[in-house]
Structure 1
């Protein structure tokens, strides 16, 4: 059985499970049956995708089905690039299915989730496999509608209906942009097959328009600023394992679409295209993490963090475009490999963090960090794996987030080789934005872990929390182990990605398996190298020695005393740092410019027993400056056009006659 046939069989299995879920959704066994079967199918798809990526079957295989456009059919194809993203999709699907096996038992409306969960996975697989524009757009819409249904699963909760509506509008806008992009690529001949598009010659104007449309279409689904507005609304509204899929996997499917079109179908890029991608990537990275710093809702914080990581990936893709346009194949391969590596890493640690947030929500019923705290004592295993995710996403060694971001900075350091002065100036500036985003990310996840798991409980729900089920913990521990393995053994991952860079860019990084001691060398050993395994050994030995000397030479007397409470003898949990107070220094530095932040202090006069209050006012300038006026204009126009519903027959006939005359005049002038 060829690789593409195996993947299509898995897709058919997932669609069959979606139908079966409709039949079984009212039965108690439905959760166990559907999630276990989805886990099995995703595991088979994962194994097949890995074989296609690393085995002898890495050559592209095709499948044509007699459906779709009559003269074209439905084309499906698996090559090295598709194989990698199928690994991301099916690994995320398997982890979410294992997590859902336990998390789904607490689902109040399983009949609203179970049919669409396997359908969502099938849609993402089909998008990656599609090899013609019609099939791609059809599968893209199927993926969007299935995920929208999952966002609306808890539609009765406040704000979820609005989240679903905005998501649907943005998804429709993105599909329209993709439709126009593929229309330009197909040209007047209507060659919608990717092979024909790849072989055609595209003028610079068409290439520029397609790039802009792909940034709008794929960027809106991935979460590029300012197209990100749906993401912090939809991700928290969905069930937590679905949030993990949307954040860790679906955004990567959108990035796949961008790579497929811009790097593969368009042909040789121009340096100006790279400047556009670099700009939007840098702005997205910084804005995403600044939004996350201001949040106290744990799932919204993670959603905004996804925006930051999407920005990091687009910066790396922009660097690859810049180097490729100038014929610097080794530097282009480095930047492109770093982008793919970060795609994989983000799917690991962001899925892990959303699983952790789901465990906290299941145990406490709370997403507000200011009502949590002290969970490290009540949920020690969840606290440990969430800490691993926080360290990994903060790009700290020896975990995987450090390796991919380190590779991206190594690519930034190759910018002096670029001949264009605009890029010589822009790339270091974007590198500085990435450094700022990395520092803010570390602070953000110190806040996320510290306020949620450390200190004392701030509510009864946090005080009475218990550890979650073993299935949820197993999924989280597997992802935590993958974060560590990809961090200490990055060489095999880089070598596995080499066929993709060779296929797309015509170049590759040096073979890392030839390096001693499992080191990695991006360009040359004399310039830079990194060894994650040695770093982990050094950290382990240093920490062990520190613990030994502290316990060996410190006093053995046990001393317990109340925590210092700023002069108060009985400090309350409310006096601890909260998510809002932790972010105050960052808000003071960036808030005035980015959020128009204002602090409103209500201080009663002496003798008044009313409590003092601090109210913080933040503004989403993108929403208020772009989307609210647009929504207002649409509403205003709709109100005016609504009068057309109440015309008399005479006025309807007059309107039709005037429209016909106008069209004839336009046709006469045009001809």
Structure 2
């Protein structure tokens, strides 16, 4: 009942947002109410997480298709994702209380924000294909309007157009996917789909269409084109939801179809998903390293993390299809854990980026610097988030990637040669992506928050409102907590994977709390709790020794500044110089990266300039080609408007003759 009330409240808040007007206190009140509604939904998800399968709350409403009605149900999987969605939604809503006053046109954002939250939650509780797709489109259209909020900017309009095209493509694929599972009887309810049996061709097409439909929304390569365009265009708190949460709703749809509704996916699809995930992870982080726009960098980082999750899901399907249900449960726990972790640390970083843009008006790394001193709350929180994204212990990002590696180590035990040879390759790709992600966020954090200001805007940066500071601090604490008590999280996730894999599984079974021992107590174990306690103890001992053995006298000396006594910000590393070695090693062939130096002639006072040319191979090779083909076909079709009457009559006569021939051939058969 509380969940239904919270969802209804979100619709009411959208109506109030239309009438909010220019008075800022009304916008703040709507964000505050969105936070309360999200907390209620979060509590509902936590309450029903771990329930006995088949006992979750359900409701049938007399809306939707005439012969079907609307079915809603909350099971363990949807309860988990309700926690994921609404924890981030509550944080971004609290952030929006202070952030909304900095939006150029808040009236174009506030009405659609609660609709966006409503759409994502409605997808999670839908129990039939019709309501799932209606809620999916609700989510897509609300987020599209939020991307288009600053409609006067031509880049934003282009981003919204690309996003809308990709959203329509994904919905079309999912519509066809559900149609195949419903069969000729039109059994669109999820229980009927679970009971139905798919033949070989239909089963193949269902998996393919699910990957295309959900993958386009999640950001799998090469369906990721909308992310680096839409995320910078949307307001920062919306970008946090789109990157940290909406992509997880897409993964929820994929898991619901492949592990629940379909249920019998061939192991070979798992191998394909692993390879796609590895390519997505590496390509995403390479894209990110090349970016100077902070929000584009974060968008491409999301692509990388979606690839990491896809590796875990692919492993789970490969293990399940081969009869290794315990290993399938381990891989699925690892993938779900990374979904939880990414929703936290990526929301943290997008909100930190929003604070940086609010304080400086800049999102170009080359115009930032020294912000840790001027924005200490955001500096510390962003550092914690960067360490989490770089998968360093004892933070949460390490635990989930470590579990995925533990699952990969068991992959060669499968009898299929594709897995024996493919798993080491995917493992190497995952390791490379993790290393490059660490380099990427050392670059992002170091250039933006450390050193000296690279522009006047960075030098005059100011603190942001308290709600924005407290939100990022809370998310930073969550990164530590989820890394320090991983067994608590994995035990909760085990309730989710049990009905999906058919096996009871606990990651801490061998050693018990607080140790993770996914393979065995002798071959691999980890405890974030012990690591945190050990680190705190070492810090305490170090401080005590420094106080007892150290001196109270101060020694002052000039800081080393590369031999320059002058305060010249231009002598610092830039984002381009930091990424140059990686760009030369990895991107010369993939992205056709080329460097050229524009050196002025003697006597010319203009500065020398290093120019870097990089192309997006997927956009140039795939999407630009499709665009040209569409334009060519449109030009041909457009000529039909200018034919003479005789040619129109000839076309009609030719069409009639062709149709008569078709009828004659069918009758002879």
TM-score band (shorter)? over 0.9
**Alignment partners' CA distance in 1, 2:656 and 2:6:** 52
Name the structure 1 match of 2:360: 364
- Note if 1:557 corresponds to 2:554: yes
User: Aligned partners of 2:51, 2:76: CA distance in 1, in Å?
Assistant: 10
Q: Which moved more, 1:178-187 or 1:376-385?
A: 178-187
TM-score, structure 1 normalization: 0.96
Contact between 1:397 and 1:487, CA under 8 Å: does it hold in 2? yes
The answer to whether residue 74 in structure 2 is matched with residue 78 in structure 1 is yes
Question: Is residue 385 of structure 2 the alignment partner of residue 398 of structure 1?
Answer: no
The 3 A distance-change label for structure 1 pair 554 and 428 is farther
Deviation at 1:508, TM superposition (A): 3.4
2:519 matched to which residue of 1? 523
Question: What's the secondary structure of 1:659's corresponding residue?
Answer: helix
Question: Which one of the candidate residues 569, 572, 577 is aligned to 1:573?
Answer: 569
TM-fit CA distance, 1:266: 1.1
2:345 equivalent to 1:349: yes
1:518 aligns to what SS in structure 2? coil
Kindly indicate whether residue 320 of structure 2 is the aligned counterpart of residue 324 of structure 1. Answer: yes
Q: Distance between the aligned counterparts of 2:559 and 2:325, measured in 1?
A: 61
Tell me the distance in 1 between the aligned counterparts of 2:153 and 2:535.
Answer: 46
Is contact 1:334-1:508 (8 Å) kept?
no
Q: CA deviation at 1:667?
A: 4.4
Give the aligned partner of residue 506 of structure 1: 502
Alpha-carbon separation, structure 2, partners of 1:649 and 1:61: 64
TM-score normalised per structure 2: 0.96
Cα deviation, 1:367-405, whole Å, max 9, x if unaligned, reads: 001100001110011100011100111111111001111
Partner residue of 1:474 out of 464, 470, 490: 470
Select between 372-381 and 567-576 the one with higher mean Cα deviation: 567-576
CA contact (8 A) 2:510 2:521 kept: no
Aligned-pair Cα RMSD in Å? 1.8
Instruction: Note the residue ranges of structure 2 that are not aligned, 5 or more in a row.
Output: none
Indicate how the Cα distance of structure 1 residues 306 and 578 shifts in structure 2: closer, same or farther if over 3 A, else same: same
Contact kept? 2:51, 2:76, Cα under 8 Å: no
CA–CA distance in structure 1, aligned partners of residues 646 and 639 of structure 2? 15
How big is the shift at 1:488?
0.5
Deviations 1:306-359 (A, max 9, x none): 000000000000000011011111111100001111100000000000000000
Is residue 369–residue 448 contact of structure 2 (8 Å, CA) maintained in 1? yes
- Deviation, 1:514, is 8.3
Q: Is the CA contact (8 Å cut-off) linking 1:319 and 1:335 kept in structure 2? A: yes
Give the Cα–Cα distance (whole angstroms) in 2 for the partners of residues 670 and 624 of structure 1.
44
Alignment equivalent of 1:251, drawn from 247, 250, 259: 247
Match of 1:532 among 525, 528, 532: 528
Structure-2 separation of matches of 1:181 and 1:113: 33
The whole-number CA distance in structure 2 between the counterparts of 1:29 and 1:669 is 72
SS in 2 for 1:590: helix
Q: Distance in 1 between matches of 2:593 and 2:641?
A: 44
> Aligned match of 2:440 in 438, 444, 456?
444
1:636 lines up with 2:632 in the alignment: yes
Shift of 1:560: 3.3
Of the three residues 600, 603, 616, the one matched with 2:599 is 603
Change (3 A) 1:547 1:651: farther
Match of 1:423 among 415, 419, 430: 419
Q: Tell me the residue number matched to 2:175.
A: 179
Structure 1 spans left out of the alignment, 5+ residues:
none
Question: Where do 1:489-500 residues align within 5 Å?
Answer: 489-500=485-496
Moved more, 367-376 or 199-208: 199-208
Q: 1:511 to 1:279 in 2, by over 3 A?
A: closer
Q: Secondary structure of the equivalent of 1:11?
A: helix
Render the CA deviation track for 1:208-240: whole Å, top value 9, x for unaligned.
111111111100000000000100110111000
The separation in 2 between residues aligned to 1:609 and 1:550, in whole angstroms, is 53
CA contact (8 A) 2:6 2:40 kept: yes
Structure 1 contact 397–532 (Cα < 8 Å) conserved: yes
Contact 2:51 2:75 in 1 (8 A): no
1:440-478 CA distance string (max 9 Å, x none): 011111011100000000111100101111111121111
CA contact (8 A) 2:498 2:505 kept: no
Report if aligned partners of 1:492, 1:513 keep a CA contact under 8 Å in 2: no
- Whole-Å Cα distance in 2 between the matches of residues 115 and 282 of structure 1? 39
Question: SS where residue 612 of structure 2 aligns?
Answer: strand
Note if 1:129 corresponds to 2:89. Answer: no
Q: Is the 8 A contact 1:288 1:308 kept in 2?
A: yes
* SS of residue matched to 2:526: coil
Post-superposition Cα deviations, 1:538-565, rounded to whole Å, max 9, x if no partner, equal: 2223344445556644783331325433
Give the equivalent residue in structure 2 for 1:91. Answer: 87
Q: Are the counterparts in 1 of residues 171 and 213 from structure 2 also a CA contact under 8 Å?
A: yes
Specify the alignment match of 2:380 in structure 1.
384
- Match of 2:27? 31
- Matching of residues 576-591 of structure 1 within 5 Å: 576-591=572-587
Flag the 1:585–1:643 CA change in 2: closer, same or farther, 3 A: same
Q: 1:578 to 1:544 in 2, by over 3 A?
A: farther
Q: Which moved more, 1:195-204 or 1:57-66?
A: 57-66
Taking the aligned partners of 2:574 and 2:199, their CA distance within structure 1 comes to 55
- Give the whole-Å Cα distance in 1 for the aligned partners of 2:366 and 2:372: 15
SS in 1 for 2:553: coil
Q: In the alignment, is residue 238 of structure 1 matched against residue 258 of structure 2?
A: no
Please tell me whether the aligned partners of residues 487 and 513 of structure 2 are also in contact (alpha carbons under 8 angstroms).
Answer: no
- Corresponding residue number in structure 1 for 2:46: 50
Q: Report the CA distance between 1:519 and its aligned residue.
A: 1.5
Shift of 1:141: 1.0
Moved more, 207-216 or 399-408: 207-216
Residue of 479, 502, 519 corresponding to 1:483:
479
8 Å contact kept, 2:453–2:459: yes
Q: In 2 relative to 1, CA 648–7 (structure 1 residues): closer, same or farther, beyond 3 Å?
A: farther
Contact 1:274–1:319, Cα closer than 8 Å, also in 2? yes
Q: Is the 8 A contact 1:330 1:523 kept in 2?
A: no
What's the CA shift for 1:24? 1.7
Q: Is the 8 A contact 1:495 1:513 kept in 2?
A: no
Q: Give the 3-state SS of the residue equivalent to 1:24 in structure 2.
A: coil
How do 1:56-205 residues align onto structure 2 when only pairs under 5 Å count? 59-205=55-201
User: Per the alignment, do residues 191 and 243 of structure 1 end up closer, same or farther by CA in structure 2, a change over 3 Å counting?
Assistant: same
Does the 8 A contact of 2:516 with 2:526 survive in 1? Answer: yes
> Could you tell me whether the CA contact under 8 Å between 1:339 and 1:404 is conserved in 2?
yes
**Count of aligned positions:** 666
Q: In the alignment, is the contact (CA less than 8 A) between 1:58 and 1:80 conserved in 2?
A: no
Tell me, what secondary structure is at the counterpart of 2:451?
coil
CA distance in 1, matches of 2:355, 2:587: 31
